[in-house]
Structure 1
Amino acid sequence: MQKMMGKYVVYLSMLGLLVCLACSEDKKIGEVETLTLDYELPQGKSPADDRIVEIYEKYGSYILYEYTDKDFYYDSDINFGRTYVYQLLDPQCVENMVDLLDEIWFDLYPEKFHQQTLPYHVFLASDLFYEDLFGEIVREPICTGAFSAVVSVSTEMLQELTSEMKLELKNSLQIKLWKFWQSYNYIELPDEFYEVSNYVGVANTDESSPNYARARGFVDGYNQTTLWYTSIDDWNAGTVSQKSDLYTFIECMLTRSSEEWEDDLAWPLVKKKYDILRNWIQKQYGFDIQVVGNLFCE
């Protein structure tokens, strides 16, 4: 009996050793695969290479102008529900692109905030588009994923950027970035914001009504042709959602100048929510979000 038990112990020990070896091999294989996501810097073909290396050393974020389909399509969130087609940016135009990103992104936020929020990859492209359900080509200057962002500006545009063009690119980029940061909890915003407005029922456009949208503390979204608050976000509950309200406020703060805020801020609840967000962001993250809104507006 003891002899039989001894055999079982040996067999079980050998089985355990084989399992450990298998797990060890699997781990090594997994580690090798993840290493393929790393890149050598400088990439070596652009006058902006030193600046790109400096960004990586500060924040651990790769600014890439040479990459493959495997790199680009690795982040499935970027291509969720659509397949983007991209065109690589000429390395000689990369410095112009980095100059632009300095203006509309990097120079707007403190170093600590970048360390918290910069994507792992920032792919630079000269074209970025997809085909919609109707077969139409849709071009986008910016798209974001779980750990990547793509910024696309044509060579021609980079050589003749006007303040109006920069304003449009800044607005598109900042809206995408903040939605990304909020969706993935990269940043925290105050619950106090939600305590100001009543979210039950649909606000209206009659300024004499106590149910008027601005009287309830709501504002119009960026570049919308219809008032977002005239529709119900949650048809089952019949309410305006807190999420839509916060997104809309942030969009407006990113895209409106101080002057463009004046009419809305004449309404007490709008001003209260504006002040809550602006002061919170200043205190928590060390920058004034209205500076982002003012850029190229004045």
Structure 2
Amino acid sequence: MKNIFIAGSLAAMLFVSCKKDKAIGTPVEIKPDYALPQAGASTADNNRVVQLFNDYGSYFLYVYTQKDFEWTQATSTGNSRIDTAVLGNPQYVGAMLDYLNDVWLKFLPADFKKKGGIPYRIFLADSIRQYRTGYPPGMEYLYTDIKVSGKAIGFAGMNSGLLTMTPAVKTTRKLALTTAIWNYYLGNNIVDIPASFYNVSNYTAAAPATPLNTSNPANVEAYRQKGFLPNGYNAVSGAPFEWHNGAFSWTNAKSNDISAFIFNLTQRTDAQMASYLTYPLIRQKWDILVNHFQTKYGIDVRAIANATY
């Protein structure tokens, strides 16, 4: 009898639920995040922005709010930090697109651009300022060429300076943009690193007792033989900065190692790298990465580094 009662109850509930069914109304329209074209740029430049969105699903925006760009406050040091984008003059949208293509986009194949190579939002700005409280008037702002924020990147420089930029300045900016963009790719798993790269060097060796620098050439030589590159260079003297100094940096040896290789792969010319590539393990790891990025993503990382203006 209990089973009959349960079955009857279920049937009654089903009948009632069917009686209460109503027709589904008109679907709610999901509007795009931004309306293109935006107002201010020429028709030709707006057409380029629209085409970039149609091709790659990425918004290249020159009209946006500070909330769009990002507002961040950090108090870990006792000072607030506010990153602010100053909107550029729309008449320079075309010149800005040319600039970004020359230092970044032309090196990427179409498929890679569609699969995250271009973030969802690109903010075109005159300048990007960082306000720091507690500093004297006139010294409270820092400026940067690029700001990565989540799935968006802001680029500064959309102003008359694009029309008079020297090759040296363009190269310097390319290097700064390349560093931030490739950190973004790695951090968001847009590109990966093959296991074969990490299988070459020994990451369990202890750090040297004395620093790696020109005063300790034996240490430098030993670590080159182990397959390790510098992670930067002095802008004036060209002297290398070594990441493997001290116990702490050595606990993050793998991440430091790949960062150093990506830096050199994308920023140092063939001539600058020639002496390093005479070391067998450096050369082996180098070739692994060059082939990996070319084969899997269609990116010639050496073309990025060797580009001149």
**TM-score, normalised relative to structure 1:** 0.81
Q: Which runs of 5+ in 1 are unaligned?
A: 18-23
Residue 261 (structure 2) aligned to one of 237, 246, 249 = 249
Query: Which residue does the alignment assign to 2:218?
Result: 208
1:146-161 alignment runs, 5 A limit: 146-153=150-157, 155-161=159-165
Structure 1 residues 66-95: Cα deviation after superposition (integer angstroms, max 9, x where no partner): 11123223xx7xx47442111101000111
1:51-200 alignment runs, 5 A limit: 51-73=48-70, 79=72, 81=74, 82-116=81-115, 117-132=117-132, 135=135, 136-153=140-157, 155-200=159-204
Equivalent position SS for 1:213: helix
Structure 1 residues 7-60: Cα deviation after superposition (integer angstroms, max 9, x where no partner): xx77xx78xx8xxxxxx9xxx99x96xx4x611211142131111111111100
Q: Which runs of 5+ in 2 are unaligned?
A: 75-80, 235-239
Structure 1 residues 81-116: Cα deviation after superposition (integer angstroms, max 9, x where no partner): 442111101000111111101101111111011111
Measure how far apart 1:208 and its partner are: 3.5
Partner Cα distance (2:278, 2:134) in 1: 44
Q: Residues 233 and 188 from structure 1, CA distance in 2 versus in 1: closer, same or farther, beyond 3 angstroms?
A: same
Task: Kindly indicate whether residue 292 of structure 2 is the aligned counterpart of residue 290 of structure 1.
Answer: no
Q: Residues 231 and 51 from structure 1, CA distance in 2 versus in 1: closer, same or farther, beyond 3 angstroms?
A: farther
Contact 2:124 2:158 in 1 (8 A): no
CA RMSD in angstroms, aligned pairs only: 3.1
Q: Write the letter of the residue equivalent to 2:125.
A: A
Contact 1:193 1:273 in 2 (8 A): yes
Partner Cα distance (1:249, 1:125) in 2: 30
Contact 2:200 2:285 in 1 (8 A): yes
Q: Residues 80 and 174 from structure 1, CA distance in 2 versus in 1: closer, same or farther, beyond 3 angstroms?
A: farther
Task: Kindly indicate whether residue 232 of structure 2 is the aligned counterpart of residue 227 of structure 1.
Answer: no
Q: Write the letter of the residue equivalent to 1:131.
A: Y
How many residues align? The count is 277
**TM-score, normalised relative to structure 2:** 0.79
Task: Kindly indicate whether residue 40 of structure 2 is the aligned counterpart of residue 45 of structure 1.
Answer: yes
Structure 1 residues 103-155: Cα deviation after superposition (integer angstroms, max 9, x where no partner): 01111111011111211100000010112465332111101122101000152
Measure how far apart 1:239 and its partner are: 3.5
Please identify the structure whose Cα radius of gyration is greater: 2
Equivalent position SS for 1:208: helix
